[in-house]
């Protein structure tokens, strides 16, 4: 047995031993880590109203600002690795695949992501483009992660989960803060903020962040890749308490980002016909302004009106450019009477684009399109037995001119036999609307090499005539959440979901390829033809072992079973969906307060392996399972200055976490890094 093999086999138990042995030398407490306070954590994303985490009928998890700081993570996706049921895989310096309960991908299309209730779901290709820093980590108050259907209150595309990133109120960001970070592999980050109070009811803040990362290396040959990252974000916020239960918030932000990539998109000029690598640069910019007004009427109705406008541009040099303008408006009201707590709302989104593209690779028809989505929902939480039994019933109707109308009902039952124990059950339906690309794009996705006398085949998704409707999901969940002892919390959930009308393909016409006589074009049209099941269980535990030492553990088991089909494209897509989900992943975090001015944190996490198809190639690529370790030591020099040293991905070198499925990118390796950071308040 080789030394390398022994180290690989021993790395996980050694990491666990390290984490479990940390608090032996524990000294003074820095914070009072009360688990009872954790059960009272505020959460608003389950029913769009403020509730205690301990009493929500949903698989919910909250990541606090302190959890974010102590993780040592530099991006929102890396922070989301804490949450059970959420699969996070890094592609390169800026790109991530993030999903909940299966169906992960470069553009995972069944997860709704919000910033303060505003969707950042990308309407062209679906999913979220995480390389655009949606919000600096220092500006986040908490991240609410809801696994499972959320369409009954949040609308279309909230199929497998909802992530709501809640930003800090400007009253909590007074004074100045400077937070620089430098690290290996050319990583750097600089955050600066200043806020002040105009009077006791009026506050404001202004923050800015810049990030940079030097290129990674290709997994195959360790040569320098093209994923150099540079981005900058500026954010301003104004908050005013108006009295009589009303308040006003106004915010504005701007983003500029540049990130390279190597994609196999160029056709070879000489035989044999193939797609060749080509270096590209993706440039993105956006400007957003928004506001929210909340008030209480004389009749006791709590109301909120939120609106925003965003102008954005995304360009992949030589291949693609998109200009987009998006307007959102959302109203919701709440009224309690007798044993009923009723919340309702309506929303409208208008997003228009103008797209130009490289016609030999992809074409949008039409090149300009305006998508309009409107919806209405109502939800009633009815107390059957005070403090013991609650029944919830709600539904939402949405209509979009790109996919039609959809209806999403929701029913929950929550039993609280004691203050520290909650059991719940849920039934819900959720739609996933087709994206702009699925309906109107023509793209060369892969090349099948010739065999014998058979010509080369270019696979082209040609969907300009497609008429897709919403994918549908119907599922049930059960869960338990409780404080078993004053120092131990447990949260367990299990689910089973049925998917129908999943977008897949069917063979169309065979056309000659003008530029290469020994090849033909196989046109593939997208249809609503797929279906399948997902089953899974999720567990999270929070244990305050000592007043100065906290352990947080999460475990996820997921299984996807797709229906068999006589259509080879649907069958192949179903097999891919089954293979590309890691059956298990887990996380163990340790937070240890060594003394009143020192912290030591350790984070062991891992995932089982899976298989994926890289966009240009017909064969599966195996992504091995991994276990890795993050360590962080922080020293508080005085009340205003803290310095921290963080090591990330210290175990399991030279691994990849994902293979790009939609954009044909070449796999890169994830390597260890060391970061030195500081937080100076002034």
Annotate 401-428 with three-state secondary structure. Answer: CCCEEEEEEEEEEEEEEECCEEEEEEEE
Predicted pLDDT at 446: 74
Q: How confident is the model at residue 38 (pLDDT cuts 50, 70, 90)?
A: low
- In which element (H, E) is residue 13 found? helix 3-21
Q: What is the pLDDT of residues 92-136, one digit of tens each?
A: 999 999 999 999 998 899 999 999 999 999 899 888 999 887 789
Whether the pLDDT of residue 150 is over 60: the answer is yes
pLDDT greater than 50 at residue 26? no
| Confidence at residue 617, expressed as pLDDT on a 0 to 100 scale | 63
pLDDT bin (cut points 50, 70, 90) of residue 460 is confident
- Over range 363-386, report the average pLDDT: 95
Write the pLDDT tens digit of every residue in 196-216.
Answer: 999 999 999 999 999 999 999
The confidence score (pLDDT) of residue 198 equals 97
C-alpha 329/C-alpha 346 separation (Å) is 9
* Residue 655: DSSP 8-state: B
Q: Point out which residues pair with 511 in neighbouring strands.
A: 521
Residue 39 pLDDT level (bands cut at 50, 70, 90): low
Asked if residue 516 has pLDDT above 80, the reply is: no
- Structure tokens of 123? 């309407």
Give the C-alpha separation, 76 to 95, whole Å: 11
Q: How many helices (H) and strands (E) does the chain have?
A: 7, 36
* Closest alpha carbon to 143 in 121, 114, 118, 120: 114
Residue 461: the pLDDT is 76
Rg for the chain (alpha carbons), in Å? Answer: 25
Query: 73-97 b/e with 16+ CB inside 10 Å = b?
Result: bbbbbbbbbbbbbbbbbbbbbbbbb
pLDDT confidence band for 13 (50 / 70 / 90): very low
Query: What percentage of residues in the chain have a pLDDT greater than 70?
Result: 91
Indicate if the pLDDT at residue 439 is higher than 90: no
| 342 confidence band (pLDDT: 50, 70, 90) | very high
Of 24-33, 61-70, 387-396, the range with the lowest mean pLDDT is 24-33
Whether residue 1 has pLDDT greater than 70: no
Arithmetic mean of pLDDT, 468-488: 95
42-70 average pLDDT score: 92
Contact by Cβ (8 Å): 648, 630:
yes
- Written as six digits, the tokens of 220 are 């195959």
pTM for this prediction? 0.93
Closest CA to 584 of 87, 170, 1: 87
As a whole number, mean pLDDT of residues 575-594 equals 95
85: left (phi over 0), alpha (psi -120 to 50) or beta: left
Q: What is the CA 279 to chain-centroid distance, rounded?
A: 27
Three-state DSSP class for residue 22: helix
pLDDT band at 36 (very low <50, low <70, confident <90, very high): low
**pLDDT band at 243; cut points 50, 70, 90:** confident
> Could you tell me which of 527, 511, 525, 507 has the C-alpha nearest to residue 462?
525
Residue 52 pLDDT greater than 60, yes or no? yes
Rounded-to-integer distance, Cα 640 and Cα 67, Å: 19
**What is the spatial distance between Cα 435 and Cα 471, in angstroms, rounded to a whole number?**
11
* Rounded-to-integer distance, Cα 362 and Cα 462, Å: 9
Residues 6+ apart with CB under 8 A from 162: 45, 111, 112, 113, 114, 144, 145, 146, 150, 154
Tell me which of 48-52, 101-105, 393-397, 626-630 is least confident: 48-52
CA distances to 271, 456, 520, 533 from 449, in Å: 11, 5, 11, 34
End-to-end alpha-carbon separation of the chain, Å?
56
| Residue matched to tokens 């929500």 | 56
- Assigned architecture for domain 3-204+211-219+228-400+426-681: Beta Barrel (2.40)
Q: Dig out the tokens for 44 from the structure.
A: 């608003």
Cβ proximity of 400 and 371 under 8 Å:
yes
Tokens of 431: 């739609």
Residue among 481, 486, 603 at smallest CA distance from 33: 486
Please state, in angstroms and rounded to a whole number, the distance separating the CA atoms of residues 97 and 105.
5
Most confident option among 181-185, 356-360, 447-451: 181-185
Under the banding of pLDDT at 50, 70 and 90, the label for residue 545 is very high
Q: Are the C-beta atoms of 241 and 247 separated by less than 8 Å? A: yes
pLDDT tens digit sequence for 57-73: 999 999 999 999 999 99
Q: What is the mean pLDDT of residues 84-92?
A: 96
Identify the pLDDT of residue 467: 81
pLDDT band for position 91 (cuts 50, 70, 90) = very high
The pLDDT-based confidence of 362 (bands split at 50, 70, 90) is confident
Residue 125's nearest CA partner among 140, 141, 149, 109 is: 109
H-helix or E-strand spanning residue 336: strand 320-337
Quick one: tokens of 569?
């494209």
pLDDT (average), residues 437-450: 80
**Nearest C-alpha neighbor of 331 from the set 299, 371, 378:** 378
Return left, alpha or beta for 178; rule: phi > 0 is left, psi -120 to 50 is alpha, else beta: beta
Say whether pLDDT at 154 is over 60.
yes
Residues in contact with 3: Cβ distance below 8 Å, sequence separation at least 6, in sequence order = none
CA distances from 436 to 109, 403, 441, 489 (A): 12, 10, 8, 44
- The pLDDT score that the predictor gives to residue 37 is 62
Strand partners, 267: 275
pLDDT at 269: 63
Ramachandran angles phi, psi of 154, nearest 5°: -105, -5
Tell me the two tokens of residue 39: 């059960």
More confident residue, 360 or 650: 650
The angle formed by the CA atoms of residues 274, 277 and 278, to the nearest 5 degrees, is 125
∠ CA 584-113-374, rounded to 5°: 135
Most confident of 226-235, 439-448, 459-468: 226-235
Mean pLDDT of all residues in 415-425? 95
What is the rounded average pLDDT of the residues 605-615?
88
Per-residue pLDDT for 335 more than 70? yes
For 448-459, how does the pLDDT look when each residue is reduced to its tens digit (9 = 90+)?
777 766 676 777
pLDDT higher than threshold 50 for residue 17: no
The number of beta carbons lying within 10 Å of the beta carbon of residue 617 is 16
Q: How far apart are CA 91 and CA 522, in angstroms?
A: 29
Is pLDDT of 20 > 80?
Answer: no
- Distance separating alpha carbons of residues 309 and 18, to the nearest angstrom: 49
Residue 632 has pLDDT above 50, yes or no: yes
C-alpha angle 40-45-46 in degrees, rounded to nearest 5: 80
530 pLDDT tier (thresholds 50, 70, 90)? very high
Q: Mind listing the pLDDT tens digit for each residue in 567-584?
A: 998 998 999 999 999 999
Residues in contact with 602: Cβ distance below 8 Å, sequence separation at least 6, in sequence order: 15, 18, 19, 22, 589, 590, 592, 629, 630, 631, 632
Characterize the bridge pairing of strands 320-337 and 275-296: unpaired
Mean per-residue pLDDT, 326-351: 97
pLDDT at 5 over 50: no
> What is the model's pLDDT at position 454?
64
């Amino acid at each position: 047995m080789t030394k390398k093999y022994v180290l690989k086999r021993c790395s996980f138990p050694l990491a666990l031993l390290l984490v479990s042995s940390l608090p032996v030398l524990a000294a003074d407490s820095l914070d009072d880590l009360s688990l009872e306070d954790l059960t009272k954590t505020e959460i608003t994303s389950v029913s769009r109203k403020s509730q205690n985490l301990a009493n929500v009928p949903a698989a919910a998890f909250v990541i606090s600002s302190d959890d974010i700081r102590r993780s040592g993570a530099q991006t929102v996706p890396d922070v989301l690795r804490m949450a059970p049921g959420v699969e996070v895989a890094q592609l390169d310096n800026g790109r991530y695949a993030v999903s909940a309960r299966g169906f992960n991908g470069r553009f995972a299309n069944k997860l709704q992501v919000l910033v303060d209730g505003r969707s950042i779901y990308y309407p062209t290709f679906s999913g979220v483009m995480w390389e655009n820093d949606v919000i600096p980590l220092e500006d986040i108050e908490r991240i609410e992660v809801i696994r499972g259907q959320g369409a009954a209150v949040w609308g279309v595309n909230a199929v497998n989960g909802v992530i709501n990133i809640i930003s800090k109120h400007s009253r909590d960001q007074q004074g100045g803060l400077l937070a620089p970070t430098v690290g290996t592999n050319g990583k750097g980050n600089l955050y600066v903020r200043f806020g002040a109070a105009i009077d006791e009811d009026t506050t404001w803040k202004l923050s800015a962040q810049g990030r940079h990362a030097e290129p990674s290396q290709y997994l195959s040959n360790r040569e320098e890749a093209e994923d150099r990252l540079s981005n900058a974000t500026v954010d301003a916020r104004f908050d005013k308490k108006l009295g009589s239960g009303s308040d006003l918030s106004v915010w504005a932000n701007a983003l500029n980002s540049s990130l390279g990539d190597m994609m196999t998109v160029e056709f070879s000029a000489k035989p044999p016909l193939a797609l060749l690598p080509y270096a590209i640069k993706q440039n993105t910019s956006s400007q957003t302004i928004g506001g929210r007004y909340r008030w209480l009427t004389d009749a006791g109705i709590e109301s909120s009106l939120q609106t925003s406008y965003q102008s954005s541009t995304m360009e992949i040099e030589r291949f693609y450019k998109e200009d987009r303008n998006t307007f959102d408006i959302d109203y919701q009201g709440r009224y309690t009477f007798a044993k009923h707590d009723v919340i309702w709302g309506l929303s409208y989104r208008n997003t228009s684009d103008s797209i130009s593209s490289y016609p030999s690779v992809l074409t949008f028809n039409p090149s300009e399109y305006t998508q309009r989505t409107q919806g209405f929902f109502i939800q009633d939480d009815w107390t059957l037995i005070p403090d013991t039994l609650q029944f919830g019933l709600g539904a939402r109707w949405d209509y979009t001119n790109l996919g039609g109308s959809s209806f999403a009902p929701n029913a929950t039952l929550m039993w609280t036999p004691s203050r520290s124990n909650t059991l719940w059950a849920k039934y819900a339906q959720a739609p996933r609307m087709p994206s702009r690309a699925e309906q109107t794009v023509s793209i060369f996705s892969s090349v099948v090499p010739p065999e014998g006398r058979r010509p080369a085949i270019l696979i082209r998704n040609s969907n300009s005539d497609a008429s897709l409707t919403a994918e549908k999901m119907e599922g049930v969940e059960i869960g338990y959440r409780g404080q078993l002892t004053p120092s131990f919390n447990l949260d367990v959930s299990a689910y089973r979901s049925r998917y129908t009308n999943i977008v897949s393909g069917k063979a169309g016409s065979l056309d000659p390829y003008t530029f290469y006589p020994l090849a033909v074009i196989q046109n593939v049209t997208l249809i609503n033809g797929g279906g399948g099941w997902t089953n899974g269980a999720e567990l999270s535990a929070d244990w305050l072992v000592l007043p100065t030492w906290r352990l947080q553990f999460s475990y996820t088991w997921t299984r996807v079973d797709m229906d068999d089909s006589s259509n080879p494209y649907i069958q192949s897509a179903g097999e891919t969906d089954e293979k590309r989900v890691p059956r298990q992943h887990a996380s163990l975090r340790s937070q240890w307060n060594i003394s009143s001015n020192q912290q030591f944190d350790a984070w062991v996490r891992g995932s089982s392996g899976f298989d994926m198809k890289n966009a240009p190639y017909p064969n599966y690529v195996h992504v091995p399972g991994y276990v890795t370790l993050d360590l962080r030591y922080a020293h508080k020099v005085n009340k205003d200055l803290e310095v921290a040293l963080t090591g990330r991905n210290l175990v399991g070198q030279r691994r990849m976490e994902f293979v790009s499925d939609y954009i044909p990118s070449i796999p890169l390796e994830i390597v260890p890094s060391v970061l030195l950071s500081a937080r100076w308040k002034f």
